[in-house]
Amino acid sequence: MEARPSFYSACIGAFETICLAAGIGIAVGMFAGTTGLEGSARGRMTLLSAVIGLAIGYFAATVFDGTALLSTFFCALFAGLSCAVVSGVIAGATRRGGTAALGFITILVALIIIAVSIVVPPLAIIPAIALVWLAISRNRRADRKHAGLRVLR
C-alpha cells in the first residue's frame, strides 16, 4: 500500500510558505502602491492588488510544493496591506514635492524583497514587520494630528 503524502510537502513547510507568500505579497502591493492614489481610487487599487496577490500566492505555492491555501491568504493579505501603506507614503511625499524617483526606489526595494523571499523565505519576516510598524506609526501620527483639530471645535 502506498503511503499518504504529508499535509505539507517535504520541499517547503508551512512557515516557509507563509514567509514566501508574505514577501511576494508585500512586493506586489509595493508595485501597485507606487501609483500614490488617494481616496476611493486607493481602495480599488488595494482590492486589485489583493486579487493579484491571491493568484500569485497560489502559483508560488504550487511551484514550490507548499500549501496553496496558506499562500493565497497571506499573499493577498500582505499585498493589500502594503498597497495601502505604500500608496499613502507615496501620495504624502508627492504632496510635499517628492519626485518620481521615489517610485523607482520602491520598485527596486520590491524586487529585492522578492529575490530574498524566494532564496531565503524566513527573511521575509523583516519587511513584513517593517510594513506593519509603518502602518501603525502612520495611523498614530494621523490620530495625533486630527486630535488637535477636534479640540478647536
Question: Is 119 inside any structural domain?
Answer: yes
Q: Is there a domain that residue 44 lies in?
A: yes
Residue 9 lies in a domain: no
Task: Flag whether 121 is in a domain.
Answer: yes
Contacts of 115 by beta carbon, 8 Å cutoff, 6+ apart:
none
Predicted TM-score (pTM) of the model is 0.80
Domain-embedded: residue 4: no
Query: Where does the pLDDT of residue 11 fall: very low under 50, low under 70, confident under 90, or very high at 90 and above?
Result: low
Give the integer Cα–Cα distance in Å for 65 and 140.
40
| Residues spanned by the domain of 42 | 14-151
Give the model's confidence band at 85: pLDDT under 50 very low, under 70 low, under 90 confident, else very high: very high
pLDDT at 7 over 80: no
Place of cell 514566501: 20
Which are the contacts of 75, defined by CB distance < 8 A and separation ≥ 6? 21, 22, 24, 25, 28, 53, 54, 56, 57, 58, 60
Is residue 5, in this structure, part of any structural domain at all?
Answer: no
pLDDT for the residue numbered 10: 52
In a domain, 135, yes or no: yes
What is the tally of structural domains in the chain?
1
Q: Count how many Cα atoms sit within 13 Å of the Cα of residue 42 in the half-sphere of its side chain.
A: 19
* Residue 51 forms part of a structural domain: yes
